[in-house]
Amino acid sequence: MTRKDVVIAGFGAAGAALALALVKGGMPAASIAVFDPASGGDAPERKDHRILALNAASHAFLEGLGVWDSLRDTAYPMRSIALSDTAWEEEIRPLLLGLEAAAGEALAHLVPLTRLQAVLREACRAAGLMPEPMAIRRFEADPGGVLLETGLKTALLVAADGASSPLRQQAGIPFHGWRYGQMALTAIIRHAAPHNGEAVQHFLPSGPFALLPLDEGRSSMVWSASPPQAKALLAADEAGQLHAISAAAAGWRGDILGIEGISAHPLALGLARRFVGDRLALVADAAHQVHPLAGQGLNLGFADVAALSGIILERVGLGLDCGAPDALALYQAQRRPPAVAMGYATEGLNHLFSNDIGPLRVIRDIGMGLVQRSERAKALFMRAASGMPRIAP
């Protein structure tokens, strides 16, 4: 029987980052196995134009893995963000709250999802980590390890297999949440006015509409629209799409000149009741889903990977069992509370802003106005968004 220290199910950004972090931390590649059914065959990968906003903590994590230099040419800095709260029919969306990074810094970096995945996967392969092109369908855990249907045995099985996570379901871990009744419309937008590294987010009654800066003349659109809105926009011709997007942007990027790769993705909130099982750890979407209005989905996933890899490396370095209950309890204690907090925060913000109720609009606009006038409040917002630990004065 072949035995591995760690088996990772999934070779997306989170799974690949975990495998690479373990090897970079000193574990032999031969002690790690990665399984991913999408890695087999010669079919080209499905095009995906989604752009990820990576915060300072994710930036530092990827630098530590040695892959940031390979991403640098397509990592677009977001230096400021402008927020507004208006009704759909209003032609002008005035600034209510603006956040700006310190000189020479960025609030986040915008990176294409497909590029990030390709860079991480290539780094894994260069380190000797070659995924098995198959799914893990059955496993049995006992005090001595996890036995997979392939005959492989491991001390720890990691589920990085997505929001529907077959491994989470096989382990009987409940996943609580609901659909938002919103679709995330994503696309790359070409526009006439320069963005100067500024992101904009308009809170509209149907959901937030955001334009995130790429290279000059292009922005990434993320529009949380109602299903009828999304269906109508996808069915419209290019002229109709340009008209609708121009109305939502309300002049913040000048004339909208073109659209590339428009697609729709259902939005949901989801949280695993536990992030661990018997010799099983859940990471990224297998553990949690949050609304994209704060751009924190994969940032939470990378934080999971950083915490879990640190625990595994420490245990293995000391000759201890990395899948033991106390190791997994530590991982859950470190990662479930932040995920719960982010889920509540994005849920609350979405409900607060995705409506056109007059009294609520007054309250939230007053709140954003108070933050706009307080440098300390702005600093707290940016510190929370960065994902970096708070340093006591």
Encode pLDDT of 172-201 as tens digits. 999 998 787 888 899 999 999 999 999 998
Q: Which two tokens stand for residue 78?
A: 């977001």
Residue 391 lies in a domain: no
Residue 258 lies in a domain: yes
| pLDDT at 42 exceeding the cut of 50 | no
| pLDDT at 391 exceeding the cut of 80 | no
Residue 380 lies in a domain: yes
Q: Which of residues 150 and 363 earns the better pLDDT score?
A: 150
Of 236, 235, 239, whose CA–CA distance to 258 is shortest? 239
Q: What are phi and psi of 36, to 5 degrees?
A: -160, 110
Q: Which residue has the tokens 């553990």?
A: 287
Range of the domain at 316: 3-386
pLDDT average, residue stretch 289-317:
89
Residue 392 lies in a domain: no
Query: Mapping DSSP to helix (H, G, I), strand (E, B) and coil, where does residue 375 land?
Result: helix
Q: What are phi and psi of 86, to 5 degrees?
A: -140, 160
Residue 101 lies in a domain: yes
Q: Which residues contact 340 (CB under 8 A, 6 or more apart)?
A: 271
Domain harbouring 263, CATH code:
3.50.50.60
In percent, how much of the chain has pLDDT > 70?
82
Q: Which residues pair with 218 in a beta bridge?
A: 190
Where residue 101 falls among pLDDT bands split at 50, 70, 90? Answer: confident
Q: What are phi and psi of 359, to 5 degrees?
A: -60, -40
Encode pLDDT of 1-30 as tens digits. 589 999 999 999 999 999 999 999 999 999
Encode pLDDT of 212-256 as tens digits. 999 989 999 999 888 999 999 999 999 999 999 999 998 889 999
Kindly report the average pLDDT of the chain as a whole number: 86
Residue 82 lies in a domain: yes
Residue 393 lies in a domain: no
Residue 124 lies in a domain: yes
| pLDDT at 382 exceeding the cut of 90 | no
pLDDT at 58: 94
Q: How far is CA 138 from the centre of its chain?
A: 28
Q: Edge to edge, what strands does the sheet with 207-213 contain?
A: 97-100, 80-85, 198-204, 207-213, 218-225, 175-191, 256-272, 288-289
pLDDT at 364: 57
Q: Which of residues 70 and 358 earns the better pLDDT score?
A: 70
Number of folded domains that form the chain: 1
d(CA 166, CA 159) in angstroms, rounded, equals 9
pLDDT at 390: 44
Q: Which residues contact 254 (CB under 8 A, 6 or more apart)?
A: 191, 192, 193
The model carries a pTM of 0.86
